[in-house]
Amino acid sequence: MAELPIPDLPPARCSGRFTISTLLGMEEGGRGPYTPTEGSSCDSVQPTHLSSSTLCTRTFGYNTVDVVPAYEHYADSKGVGEPRKGRPSLADLHSILKVTEGLAVPTASLASPGHAAGPCEVSAGLEEAEGEPGRDSVPEPVRFGWVKGVMIRCMLNIWGVILYLRLPWITAQAGIALTWLIILMSVTVTTITGLSISAISTNGKVKSGGTYFLISRSLGPELGGSIGLIFAFANAVAVAMHTVGFAETVRDLLQEHNSLIVDPTNDIRIIGVITVTVLLGISLAGMEWEAKAQILFFLVILVSFINYLVGTVIPATAEKQAKGFFSYRADIFAQNFVPNWRGPEGSFFGLFSIFFPSATGILAGANISGDLKDPAVAIPKGTLMAIFWTTMSYLVLSATIGACVVRDASGSLNDSVAVGSLGCEGLACSFGWNFTACTQQRSCRYGLSNYYQSMSMVSGFGPLITAGIFGATLSSALACLVSAPKVFQCLCKDQLYPLIGFFGKGYGRNSEPIRGYMLTYVIAVGFILIAELNAIAPIISNFFLCSYALINFSCFHASITNSPGWRPSFRYYSKWAALFGAAVSVVIMFLLTWWAALIAFGIVLFLLGYVLYKKPDVNWGSSMQASSYNMALNYSVGLSEVDEHIKNYRPQCLVLTGPPNFRPALVDFVGTFTKNLSLMLCGNVLIGPQKQKMPESRLMADGHTKWLMKRKIKAFYTDVVAEDLRSGVQMLIQAAGLGKMRPNILVLGYKRDWRTASPQSLEDYVGILHDAFDFKYGVCLMRMKEGLNVSRVLQAHVNPTFEAAEHPENGTGSRAAPGTAVDPTTLASEQQASTIFQNKQGKKTIDIYWLFDDGGLTLLIPYLLGRKKRWGKCKIRVFVGGQINRMDEERKAIVSLLSKFRLGFHEVHILPDINQKPRPEHIKRFDDLIAPFRLNDGFKDEATVNEMRQGCPWKISDEEVDKNRAKSLRQVRLNEILLDYSRDAALIAITPPIGRKGRCPSSLYMAWLETLSQDLRPPIILTRGNQENVLTFYCQ
């Protein structure tokens, strides 16, 4: 059907992108205006042309609407079922091809004004755009590769002052062996996190937003949003931390030379503010300048490392030997190989908590994901290489300094002694130095255990180590200064939190978040002015660890859900390793500082709760969505194995709402007693040709579902296309639901226009009730004095058979013309109509007329309604029929039965006058009601009556009127009783009569329902169960 036969033509050359040419009505000579493309790689017959359609040429020897696979068909894909750019829809391929003025056009294209342009049209449009004069070309943004963009950035952020000032001291305390264990344990966590980052970042195209983007698109906006906010804040404060580290080093140098500016504390503030201002200037200059500055810092640190390694092999001078440095010695290595715990921090986990922050910083490259040439390649490669090289540097540094420097040294040149002197203790004695006195008195100023500047002392040129410290602190500060605004910008654009959208605006070719830079600068300056960051530092470390935990959990969760969309091109990860990494990250949070961990968790939970409450309208295909599906599927399948029991009976309702926004009262009524309890399914029958109605069905389903969610109704929406209402409802009754989650009650509105509607629609309506009973459904009819249908204020489609003219002013209604469907977005955002079921009912009554034993459904629905807060103060009264001479006995029997059901219904009324003859005027009104529908056959025989009723089965014969006279008068009398007892009730629930199929004409049955429920102010619910128990007083 999608193939288009054409006359034989000479083969033409084509390229992967097809252009437009004529299909029918070709130019003379059988050639269209198609110009072969040079360098083409495939043969094709003459290409085709479809006006406003997607007809393009494929290279299989015939013309077709189909197109070859292309990148643009999958770019910016959203939800399942939405049209893709350039690809013809299924209707274009499947519908009949019409020839219009010499052009072949799929009928679906003509009927779909919103159809996406095909690749032919897209390419043509691009060619036209490129050919327009005066159009300014947009400059290409700066993009970085994996070395410059990720590896160097991560290495600089991982290296810090701990490397220079604390690693030698940790080596002295824990020994080389345990120091390596501490390093490897820390690196294990960061490596697992790096593998998780690699997996997530290669599972689709990564945009700007870094860690926040990865977590939010994997776990959803709830956890992603909370982590994004605290991660951006943590980076902003980390700028202050690293800057203060730099300022303290400068302040110490000034103190050594007695050149303080003001005083030690204010000097830190002055130097810190100046430094962060310079760093801000570098950042505002653009990512290219920032990258150049990072390379400069990287080179400085490399030179300082080389300077240190060269210093270890240079023979030690007397001054260095006095400070404990003796170049490489096996004895020193052996002594420093084992631990020597000292001080309050002298424990394995104490040292681990000190070292672990120096292994972090692996997210620096991922945080600028929007500035990378290929994030899917750069993030895994650069992050893992950075972890590897920094780990090697930590291991080499701890091993080399542990083999060169003793733990204790006095620093005094006077402590040199002859080798083997008596009274000399310690390893230094064998090298000609006696540090026994200061060692015993714990007063040594030098050595690994006492002197933090051991690297500077060992190095060939000490000031280069100071330069390395400067480079490490400034590079980390600069990386955090860039990361915070980039992450925050993405968070602002997603609009998960209020009042932050202002900071999301980007400037320049790289969309630089200048407003975010200024906010980060203000936060950093604020914390620099505090000048005491020891209290805030543990919280910041815990924020970073929260990010690690969630990245690992994201990888685990995406893997465990088995979603077909989880297809990372990076395969070297394990979901169980990721789970282990997440758990270890949480454990380390409490090992570092337990109170800071609690604060971090509290902030995350608060932000998580806010996003859960706001429910942002985003759809990112997160693993949480996949997990929800998995859980629903597993529970639904598991439910099939559970045997049904009366104690667990739940009223699962198929509600014939039509479009739900047309009958909000019906939706609210059922939604009130099914919420958090049972299944509610809103059914809509679209009447008309399938080809015409199917597009409307697809378009409207999402809008109706959003309307229900906005109204806070926990229900499903489904629709079917059918030739008439009854056949459509039969489809719904048979096919609705899943497994044990299937409706058992049919809820519909009362057909108010039955007297003026077409006779066939009357037959269909009553036939629906018969069908429900045939399928063992209970039936619930709802009638309100003002009616249910509010479609008179909505310009939308109305089912003509089902209450299409519920209000007389609407006329008879008609089938909607094509194109009258309301846009889903408009539908979901329309003003919600208020109904009685949304209001508090106060101390009114709910009156139940349990006239016939239907299994208890007439009692159960009002009971469930009374449990809700809005109806909780209503008093429930139960009315039953009885004999006047046995009122007390019958009342006691009903009270006893109700008490066994534990419904809490204590007010029971016996109606002894239920069989009294109604008033004559009411009888006459009933007779007038059925008069237009009578055959007036004069009690002829059945064959004659059937002949007279040929083509009009709704007509009532005189014999049927006579046979059902008592039942008819019963309805008249019941209406009088309802008016006497329940005129001011909040709700009336009553058991309706059942018309015997084939024996009770539809018009007579509708007359009974009309008579029973007329002139009543409160809503009336006509409920009939399927004659099976829904209540029990047994416990098993």
Average pLDDT on 623-637 reads 84
Side chain identity, residue 706:
K
pLDDT at 380 over 60: yes
Reading the block at residue 702, the tokens are 């999402």
Which among 453, 405, 406 has a CA at the least distance from the CA of 425? Answer: 406
- What confidence category does residue 56 fall into, taking pLDDT thresholds of 50, 70 and 90? very low
Give the pLDDT score at 935.
Answer: 83
- What confidence category does residue 486 fall into, taking pLDDT thresholds of 50, 70 and 90? confident
pLDDT at 19 over 60: no
- What confidence category does residue 860 fall into, taking pLDDT thresholds of 50, 70 and 90? very high
Give the pLDDT score at 244.
Answer: 86
pLDDT at 51 over 60: no
Give the pLDDT score at 781.
Answer: 95
Q: How far apart are CA 718 and CA 555, in angstroms?
A: 35
Q: Are strands 778-783 and 987-990 parallel, antiparallel or unpaired?
A: unpaired
DSSP per-residue string spanning 175-227: HHHHHHHHHHHHHHHHHHHHHHHHHHHTSS---S-HHHHHHHHHH-HHHHHHH
pLDDT at 1020 over 70: yes
Give the pLDDT score at 539.
Answer: 77
- What confidence category does residue 800 fall into, taking pLDDT thresholds of 50, 70 and 90? very low
Q: How far apart are CA 743 and CA 654, in angstroms?
A: 6
Give the pLDDT score at 1009.
Answer: 94
- What confidence category does residue 62 fall into, taking pLDDT thresholds of 50, 70 and 90? low
**DSSP 3-state percent helix, strand, coil across the chain (nearest 5):** 55, 10, 35
pTM of the model: 0.72
Average pLDDT on 513-523 reads 91
Alpha helices, H only, 675-803: 690-710, 725-735, 759-774
Give the pLDDT score at 101.
Answer: 54
Average pLDDT on 201-215 reads 82
Q: Are strands 63-64 and 42-44 parallel, antiparallel or unpaired?
A: unpaired
pLDDT at 44 over 80: no
If one counts every other C-beta atom within 10 angstroms of the C-beta of residue 560, the result is 17
If one counts every other C-beta atom within 10 angstroms of the C-beta of residue 750, the result is 21
Give the pLDDT score at 533.
Answer: 62
The pLDDT tens digits of the residues spanning 277-308 come to 999 998 888 778 888 888 999 999 999 999 99
Side chain identity, residue 558:
A
Torsion sign across C-alpha atoms 593, 598, 603, 604? positive
Average pLDDT on 980-985 reads 90
- What confidence category does residue 769 fall into, taking pLDDT thresholds of 50, 70 and 90? very high
- What confidence category does residue 803 fall into, taking pLDDT thresholds of 50, 70 and 90? very low
pLDDT at 829 over 80: no
Which among 930, 1002, 925, 932 has a CA at the least distance from the CA of 961? Answer: 930
Any idea which of 594-598, 614-618, 1001-1005 has the lowest mean pLDDT?
614-618
If one counts every other C-beta atom within 10 angstroms of the C-beta of residue 508, the result is 12
Q: How far apart are CA 356 and CA 334, in angstroms?
A: 25
Give the pLDDT score at 828.
Answer: 62
Q: What is the CA radius of gyration of the chain?
A: 41
- What confidence category does residue 414 fall into, taking pLDDT thresholds of 50, 70 and 90? confident
Average pLDDT on 271-282 reads 91
Side chain identity, residue 235:
N
Give the pLDDT score at 728.
Answer: 93
Any idea which of 43-52, 211-220, 340-349, 999-1008 has the lowest mean pLDDT?
43-52
- In this prediction, what percent of the chain has a pLDDT beyond 70? 82
Give the pLDDT score at 613.
Answer: 85
Average pLDDT on 570-576 reads 90
The pLDDT tens digits of the residues spanning 92-139 come to 776 666 555 555 555 544 444 444 444 333 333 333 333 444 444 556
pLDDT at 818 over 90: no
Any idea which of 479-493, 536-550, 595-609, 708-722 has the lowest mean pLDDT?
536-550
The b/e string for 840-858 (b: 16+ C-beta within 10 A; e otherwise) is ebeeebbbbbbbbebbbbb
pLDDT at 350 over 90: no
Average pLDDT on 942-959 reads 77
Average pLDDT on 726-737 reads 93
Average pLDDT on 957-968 reads 88
DSSP per-residue string spanning 530-571: H---TTHHHHHHHHHHHHHHHHHHHHHHHHHTT-TT---S--
Give the pLDDT score at 177.
Answer: 93
Give the pLDDT score at 47.
Answer: 39
Q: How far apart are CA 1017 and CA 607, in angstroms?
A: 48
Give the pLDDT score at 95.
Answer: 67
Torsion sign across C-alpha atoms 110, 112, 114, 119? negative
DSSP per-residue string spanning 799-819: -STTTTT-SGGGTT--PPPTT
Any idea which of 37-46, 522-531, 833-842, 870-879 has the lowest mean pLDDT?
37-46
Reading the block at residue 778, the tokens are 């209970």
Average pLDDT on 620-625 reads 79
Give whichever of 95-99, 637-641, 722-726, 913-917 has the largest mean pLDDT.
722-726
Any idea which of 574-588, 807-821, 896-910, 1014-1028 has the lowest mean pLDDT?
807-821
pLDDT at 163 over 70: yes
Give the pLDDT score at 518.
Answer: 93
Residues 6+ apart with CB under 8 A from 460: 307, 308, 310, 311, 314
Average pLDDT on 637-657 reads 89
Maximum Cα–Cα distance for the chain, whole Å? 143
pLDDT at 16 over 80: no
pLDDT at 763 over 60: yes
Higher pLDDT, 664 or 438: 664
Torsion sign across C-alpha atoms 908, 914, 920, 926? positive
Average pLDDT on 777-800 reads 75
Higher pLDDT, 293 or 8: 293
Any idea which of 358-372, 375-389, 689-703, 759-773 has the lowest mean pLDDT?
689-703
Give the pLDDT score at 107.
Answer: 53
| Mean pLDDT (the chain, rounded) | 80
